[in-house]
Every structure is written in C-alpha cells, then in structure tokens.
Structure 1
Amino acid sequence: MRFPRITVNPDRMGGVPCIRGLRIPVSTVVNMLADGIAIADILEAYPDLEIEDIQESLGYTSARD
C-alpha cells in the first residue's frame, strides 16, 4: 500500500514517519485523534495540514499494525 503523503527521512526527525516532509509526526496526529481532539481543532493547531493528511495518517497507522 502506498502512502504518498507520509515521508520517512533518516535525516529529519530521526526517521520518524511524518506528513509530507513537514515536522509533524504521523503519531502526533493519530494520538490527537485518539485523545478525542476534533479534526477541525487539529487542522487549526497545524495550519499546514490538510484533511487528506489526517486520513492518510490513519490509513498508514492501520496498515502498520
């Protein structure tokens, strides 16, 4: 399965999967959702994110488990 919005770069954030090369780890977004934070609030907290980034973060996490 391909996740073009998820990037892993050993020279950035220690190789932690991030969203589109930004310094926003997938785990941060997924954990916010798990904590009950609304998507609109996540997008407000991280203005560089798009709804598709959040959706793909969930898919990526699900595929890795």
Structure 2
Amino acid sequence: MVDYKKYITVDNERRFGTPIISGTRISVSDVLNWLANEMSVADIISDFPELNEMQINACLSFAAQRESRTRVA
C-alpha cells in the first residue's frame, strides 16, 4: 500500500482544510470522483500533468485508510 502521507496534506489555509495532493490544489475527493466516473489514471494525468500515478494511488490509499477507521454505531 502506498504511504499516502508522502503525497497528501491537510492545510486549513488551502481548500478549507480539505485533504489535497501536496503541492497542488487538487483534492483527494476530486481524484476519487474522477476515478468513480470512469476516468483512467492515464486520462487524469493527461488532463492534470502535474499529477503522477503514485499521487493518484495515494488518494486511493488515503480513502481506504479513512474507511477502515469509520465506525457505524
């Protein structure tokens, strides 16, 4: 699993504290939505050349880690 902490930051000064890919204003949520809407990794990188495959995988890793901590009462 990718160590998402190398690629994802949360800064209250950028995008209101939304988790973003470090060095960009692209949120984890943006990337996850693109993937959910059937954009391929290659399509995302083509549209956003500042991104790479490791950063996109870090978004998936971040979401998986967050989901594993979610507790349903």
* TM-score (normalised: structure 1): 0.92
- 1:14-49 C-alpha deviation (Å, 9 max, x unpaired): 000000131000010011111111111000111100
Q: Which runs of 4+ in 1 moved over 3 A?
A: none
Q: Which residue of 2 aligns with 1:17?
A: 19
Structure 2 residues not aligned, in runs of 5+: 68-73
Counterparts of 2:29 and 2:23 in 1: how far apart (Å)? 14
Question: What is the correspondence of 1:1-65 to structure 2 with a 5 Å cutoff?
Answer: 3-65=5-67
Contact 1:6 1:21 in 2 (8 A): no
Contact 1:5 1:19 in 2 (8 A): yes
Superposition CA RMSD, Å: 1.3
Task: Report the count of equivalent residues.
Answer: 65
The verdict on how the C-alpha distance between 1:2 and 1:33 changes in structure 2, with shifts beyond 3 A counting, is closer
* TM-score (normalised: structure 2): 0.83
Decide which structure has the larger Cα Rg and report it: 2
- Amino acid corresponding to residue 42 of structure 2 in structure 1: A
